[in-house]
Amino acid sequence: MTQPPNTAQIDYWNDTPGLTWASLQTLLDRQIAPLGEAAMAALDPRAGERILDIGCGCGDTTLALALAVGPEGRVLGADISRPMLDVARQRIAASELSQASVIEADAQAEDFGAGQWDALYSRFGVMFFADPPAAFANLAAALKPGGRLAFVCWRPLKENPWMTAPLAAALKHVPPAEPTDPLAPGPFAFSDPERVRSILAGAGFGDVTLTPHDQPIGGNALEDALIVARKVGPAARLIADHPDKREAVLASLRETLAAHDGPDGVWFDSATWIVTAKRV
């Protein structure tokens, strides 16, 4: 039997990680929403347009795009995580934005219809393809000629204190995790700008631009920020791998986060690429 191209990621995001992101939707959206807004501004969605939202997760960006295109437009969010899509569907139903919908789909292989879409958007949803060239070729085929693309992805880990600071706190008590393949699907798979340019150009996109975007992110209260840090990211992985050191790691995490706490919550610097392109 032929397996779907993204079998490993489908399994991953329908297990504990997908359930975790669904349960923390409010906290995670608050943290990364400004970065998604920067990519959305670069996309410049317009009234009446048809837009694909790739890796839509719990639907925050799908709803924002739906407001931008208005009742005459259409926004289709696609994701492989059923737990997150369940949240998205509930939010869309409550919003009464009939132009918004979501589907469970592997965007690497899904047939979205040839030349049917004006634009393609993603907030941290395109770094998890098993075969990025094939995925973007498939997505390019869904765009109209001249169709626009905009997404936000992380620059290298070392440039992102929002993740390195909690990781350093954990490493005071546990050894580092085994190194992973930097090109494997994952949050930092698109940190190399030349790799991104090559993938997009090979998939049929032109006018490829990567703009560095630096912005503090956070806004969660200290206890909420601690919940996120212990459940999402490399520090969370180390806690899971070393349960005997859990309390010591959590104490260090709290100390690190408290040092960045203020009247409007915990904030750290972040570093991303805002990527734009057009279908040739």
Residue 233 lies in a domain: no
Q: How far apart are CA 43 and CA 53, in angstroms?
A: 12
Token representation of residue 211: 């703009």
Q: How many domains does the chain have?
A: 1
Res 265: pLDDT = 97
Residues in contact with 26: Cβ distance below 8 Å, sequence separation at least 6, in sequence order: none
Range of the domain at 135: 7-156+182-217+270-279
CA dihedral 14, 16, 22, 24 (to 10 degrees): -160
234 within a domain of the structure (yes/no): no
pLDDT score, position 2 = 45
User: For residues 24 and 228, what is the distance between their CA atoms, to the nearest angstrom?
Assistant: 7
268 Cβ contact partners less than 8 Å away, ≥ 6 residues apart: 161, 162, 165, 216, 217, 218, 260
Q: In angstroms, rounded to a whole number, what is the distance separating the alpha carbons of residues 138 and 149?
A: 13
Residues of the chain with pLDDT under 70: 1-4
Give the pLDDT of residue 1: 37
Whether 235 is covered by a domain: the verdict is no
pLDDT tens digits along 44-86: 999 999 999 999 999 999 999 999 999 999 999 999 999 999 9
Q: Which residue has the tokens 């709803």?
A: 63
Here the CATH number for the domain that contains residue 213 is: 3.40.50.150
End-to-end CA distance of the chain: 35
For residues 54 and 125, is the Cβ–Cβ distance under 8 A? yes
Q: Is residue 209 part of a domain?
A: yes
Dihedral pair phi/psi, residue 221, rounded to 5° = -60, 160
Residue with tokens 């956070």: 218
For residue 86, tell me if it sits in a domain.
yes
Residue 161 lies in a domain: no
Q: Which of 272, 263, 255, 135 is nearest to 199 (CA)?
A: 135
Q: pLDDT by residue (tens digit) across 103-116?
A: 999 999 999 999 99
Q: What type of residue is 261?
A: D
